[in-house]
Chains A and B, each alone.
Chain A
Amino acid sequence: MTPTYNRRSFLKTSSLAGGGLLLGFNLFNACTSPTNPNAVTTIPKKELFPEDWSDINAFVKIATDGSVTIMSPNPEIGQGVKTSMPMIVAEELDVDWVNVRVEQAALNTDWYERQVAGGSQSIRQGWESLRKAGATARQMLIETAAKQWEVTASECTTENGTVYHKASNKSIGYGELAAIASTMEAPTEVVLKDPKDFKIIGHSHPNIDNPAIVTGKPLFGIDIQREGMLYAMAVRPPFGKKLKSVDDMAAKAIEGVKEVITFGDKVAVVGNSTWNVKKGRDALVIEWEIAEALESSESQDAAMLELLKKPTKEPKRKDGNPDKAFKEAAQVVEAIYECPFLPHNTLEPMNYFAHVREDGVELLGPNQVPNWARGDVAKMLEIEESKITVQMTRMGGGFGRRLYPDFVKEAAEISKLAKAPIKLQWTREDDMQGGMYRPACKYLFRAALDENGNMIGYHIRGAGINMDNTVRENNFPAASVPHYLAETHNLKSNVTTAAWRAPVANFLASAEQSFIDEVALAAKKDPVAFRLELFDNALNTPVGEVGYDVARFKKTVELAAEKSNWNNKAENVYLGMSAYYSHNSYVAEVAEVVMIDGSPKLQKVYCATDCGIVVNPTGAENQVEGGIIDGIGHAMYGKLTIKDGEAQQNNFHNYRLIRMGEAPKVEMFFVDNGESPTGLGEPTLPPAAGALANAVFQATGKRMTKQPFSDFKVLG
């Protein structure tokens, strides 16, 4: 029996035939360009490269000198998991963080669970298993020492990478134990630390890749260079069109262009540099033909407004008798909220390296769900998944776009046809015009108030492009109101749509929270007091299923109100509250607006977050701030429109992203409640735009119901 198998048994015992993980993949240094022999990928925190590494389990390797390598299983898109996930392992392993190096693990479904960057779930779902990985390794090291000293393991303690037996005054470093420990059976049960003893979790540790980032080391997919690698760029059909003919004469005449490849309705140019294949690609003369309807935003907008007039057959949720409530209401408030398509615009445009050989396939690059990519490529090439290796680079942003393996499949197909390792590069224009947008959508909101200003009925009806469900029917204010109706319409389109940071919530939250302020105004109630009243209803007399923890949500709103001096605000500032629960975290934000030369200016956002235990405060704060600035930026400026099947914006000269001077200051606060940690990559984005809209209303009396807000003239 090979002990290797058993010592990883706490993960999965089924099959571990794959191997290879612990060979220490280095994504770049095996593959530098001939002119750049010195490129290296990661700078370890300590410049040492010990020879003798022992792998304790799939997450932990320890060298004879006591240095520790922790494998980071999940894709890093800027959400910080390459730092925070290994921190959790290191905490339970009980080592000093300065002695830890982090390596990105390749895809290995036998060893790791859920190697996905999506839904803000890495920390939440990895919490238990990462802690166990560290604790199991620690236990094996303790048992090794105890055996050597002939004492019982329970008498031993650990601290900073050393095992102690205090009674006999003995101590030994992990490095001296690792080789033997790595041959041991893994314990099936381990004791986890009491959170009050955490030394790494809850303390700030900077992004593990900072040294490499600030010195420009190769880290990203776009940085990949291999011996013999060719570059590729492709043309893709507009929505509703297909390929009719290609004239590649001019393209092939471009210096450096090696080949023009037609695959499906796409055409790729392969050659010796990014620039040359771009020139070749631009020289292609392509005729498209119409295959389906050529759609436009204008007609889609009209169709969605029509849908908002129609009830659906099956509501997503219905409590009480909404019809009756609205008929008998003393007052009905009604509004429509609208948003456009948004491209993800990761700053690193899509790219991918693929090498399809006779005997197997190598995939390497930025992808949020490597497992899907492998499955799709296996199907497309009709080969077994086991013949495909997948490695992940650091990603220049994800925001949901890299959940989809379309560009991975393109790279694999081009590599197969070109019979060469290739790096596929999308230009910004390809990226912005290539679809997979945050769907445009619209909502009709109605609220019924009784004569005392109590909300007795609430109705939401959404219509969105390719959206199975535009509503979050069990989320707030459901359960707080006796008569409730949520309906959703789907407008099918050949314009491709995708998950975009905080799907659905990214606009729904802002619309709903703006509308709640409209209702509060009609009820003559303070916006915060009105929300608290609704929470109390949900706490004391909940109606139907409650899809959120009312007490935690309420506390978050109270904290944001307190920190922003809601009840005690300065004369010349205007505040707007907005709160939303998504991805298992509760977030309340207050936007602070001042009037400058007659125009409202957003100067600050106060943010209260309940995401349970904060694993890495500096990383968490970065996510909170980034999510808010992203939410504000896209609500202010983001707008992509389609005309006759083509996106009308294609680069940053006609598609505006928020810039430095426009970003608000952010003051943030975390609810300290010791709950298990939940995600932070998305939840602070959804409420941001609603907070801004509500504050602008306070300042100007104008209600911005349609994004982008920059189309409203109230803003300077």
Chain B
Amino acid sequence: MANFTLQVNGEQHQVTVSADTPLLWVLRDTIGLVGTKYGCGIAQCGACTVHIDGNPVRSCSMPVSSLKGKTITTIEGLSNNGDHPLQLAWQEADVPQCGYCQAGQIMSAAALLKENPNPSDEDIDIAMRGNICRCGTYNRIRKAIHLAVKG
């Protein structure tokens, strides 16, 4: 085990874990931020998407040892009051079915909107390709992203 300092959602966290532990499990098991989900562990489903220095990253495939000095944002820190335009749009479009993939979907979408504030359907399909929704809410996800743009 080794000590690491992580900057998560604007707070410093000291954690003692094995150096190869993926960020996903540090967030979930150690820090107790369980909004970031496990779906595959191999960067294929997007359920574990967080932002590192503003970029969307699959936290299941990011060892804790590689995060020195980086800024991590999880779904819990995306907004202060759950009022990020995407979080509101997601509720307006009533996107979730089981809901399990949705934190990862929102984090990917948030990263997309930062890069491209007014994406086309095609831009959305490409940016969101790494996020699986097993329940098939894809059309509502696309709709919610457009809604968030309109504000």
Contact = CB atoms under 8 A, between A and B. Distances in A.
Interface string A679-709: 0000000000000000000000000000000
B117 to A, nearest CB: 19
A50 interface: no
A398 B21 CA distance: 29
Interface stretch (A186-194, A440-448, A620-628): A620-628
A209 B30 CA distance: 25
B98 A77 contact: yes
A206 B31 CA distance: 31
A657 B41 CA distance: 16
B100 A220 contact: yes
B136 A428 contact: no
* Interface majority SS (helix, strand, loop, mixed), chain A: loop
Contacts of A216: 33-36, 74-76, 103
B98 A347 contact: yes
B28 A274 contact: yes
A118 interface: no
B139 A665 contact: yes
Contact of B136 (A35, A218, A279, A625): A625
A444 to B, nearest CB: 31
A213 interface: yes
A225 B18 contact: no
Given A211-B91, A218-B34, A347-B100, A663 B136 contact: yes
Contacts of B34: 39, 216, 218, 222-223, 225
Given A275-B25, A651-B40, A665-B139, A78 B35 contact: no
Given A347-B101, A652-B40, A214 B82 contact: yes
Given A77-B98, A214-B102, A214-B106, A347 B47 contact: yes
Nearest to B136: A629
Given A210-B91, A273-B25, A395-B98, A652 B132 contact: yes
Interface string A56-82: 000000000000000000001111100
Given A215-B82, A275-B25, A666-B139, A427 B41 contact: yes
Interface in B76-128: 76, 78, 82, 86-87, 90-92, 94, 96-103, 106, 124-126, 128
A204 B40 CA distance: 33
A396 interface: yes
A549 B96 CA distance: 33
A196 interface: no
Contacts of B17: 273, 275
A499 to B, nearest CB: 17
Contacts of B35: 215-217
A69 B86 CA distance: 29
Nearest to A626: B136
B142 interface: yes
A618 B41 CA distance: 32
Nearest to B32: A36
Given A214-B82, A214-B91, A348-B98, A273 B36 contact: no
Contacts of B37: 220, 222, 347-348, 396
A276 interface: yes
Interface string A152-169: 000000000000000000
Given A428-B39, A428-B41, A660-B142, A32 B32 contact: yes
Contacts of B76: 215-216
A681 B133 CA distance: 16
Contacts of B149: none
Contacts of A231: 29
A256 B99 contact: no
A653 interface: yes
Contact of A207 (B20, B36, B94, B106): B94
Contacts of B96: 78, 207, 209-210, 213-214
B50 to A, nearest CB: 10
A51 to B, nearest CB: 25
Contacts of A223: 28, 34
Of A220, A622, A660, most buried by chain B (CB within 10 Å of CB) is A660
Contacts of B1: 255-256
Contacts of B124: 660
Contacts of A663: 136, 138-139
Nearest to A627: B136
Contact of B98 (A211, A217, A396, A628): A396
Interface string B1-42: 100000000000100011011100100111111111111111
B134 interface: yes
Nearest to B47: A347
Which has the most chain B C-beta neighbours within 10 Å: A275, A629, A651? A275
Contact of B30 (A35, A207, A213, A630): A35
A629 B139 CA distance: 10
Contacts of B75: 214-216
Contact of B18 (A255, A622, A633): A255
A256 B30 CA distance: 13
A219 B17 CA distance: 25
A640 to B, nearest CB: 15
Contacts of B29: 33, 225, 231, 273-275
A22 interface: no
Contact of A347 (B74, B91, B134): B134
Contacts of B125: 660-661
A627 B139 CA distance: 13
A701 B88 CA distance: 46
B70 interface: no
A76 B96 CA distance: 12
Contacts of B140: 622, 625
Given A218-B34, A657-B132, A663-B139, A622 B41 contact: no
A161 to B, nearest CB: 24
Given A215-B35, A222-B37, A633 B136 contact: yes
A427 B103 CA distance: 19
A65 B140 CA distance: 36
A574 B73 CA distance: 46
A658 interface: yes
A374 interface: no
Interface string B39-52: 11110110100000
Nearest to B140: A622
Contacts of B134: 345-347, 397, 399, 630, 657
Contact of B25 (A33, A219, A274): A274
Given A210-B91, A275-B21, A396 B99 contact: yes
A255 B16 CA distance: 12
A309 interface: no
A396 B139 contact: no
B131 A660 contact: yes
B137 interface: yes
B94 A213 contact: no
A660 B40 contact: no
13 contacts: A35-B32, A39-B34, A210-B94, A216-B76, A220-B37, A273-B25, A273-B29, A274-B38, A396-B100, A619-B94, A625-B137, A659-B131, A661-B126
Given A32-B32, A397-B98, A665-B139, 8 more contacts: A206-B91, A216-B75, A222-B38, A225-B32, A273-B29, A347-B45, A396-B37, A625-B136
Interface of A: 32-33, 35-36, 39, 76-80, 204, 206-207, 209-211, 213-220, 222-223, 225, 231, 255-256, 273-276, 279, 345-349, 394-399, 427-428, 618-619, 622-623, 625-630, 633, 651-653, 657-661, 663, 665-666
